[in-house]
Copies of this chain bind each other. A is one copy, B any other.
Amino acid sequence: MRGWRLTAQRRVVAEVLDGDHVHLTADEVHARAVSRLPEISRATVYNTLGELVTLGEVLEVATDGRAKRYDPNAHQAHQHLICSGCGAIRDVHPLGDPVAALPADQRFGFTLSGAEVTYRGLCPDCR
């Protein structure tokens, strides 16, 4: 390998995925990327998102059976609170380690690596 290139396309995807409480689908990332770089392709957005996930810079979040969401807040462990009405997503920080709530006799010999918690409810606007 002669090296990794920071291309205009990769820069634009990284710029779109900047900020807090950002949980965009690949298509949303593509739409925003297109507005900055009109000819960027879907394939490149998917490729770049995959690279960012592999690098640990972005998390893939599968909260419903629909499109995955891409979360740049990868360096701080957190969980998600989702409005059942409008789909709004918030990052939340529960007390303690969720893995600790699973007793040994409920681990069935598994080596646990983590746990994802999705809290569901109605946001103030939807209530």
Contacts and interface: CB of A to CB of B under 8 A. Distances in A.
Contacts of A92: 102, 106-108
A2 interface: no
Contact of A103 (B95, B108, B121): B95
B95 A123 contact: no
Interface stretch (A9-17, A38-46, A63-71): A63-71
Interface in A73-127: 81, 83-84, 90, 92-96, 98-99, 101-103, 106-124, 127
A62 interface: yes
A115 B92 CA distance: 12
Interface of A: 60, 62-65, 67-68, 81, 83-84, 90, 92-96, 98-99, 101-103, 106-124, 127
Report how many copies the assembly holds: 2
A99 B114 contact: no
B121 A111 contact: yes
A123 to B, nearest CB: 5
Given A62-B64, A64-B62, A94 B90 contact: no
Given A65-B68, A81-B107, A112 B120 contact: yes
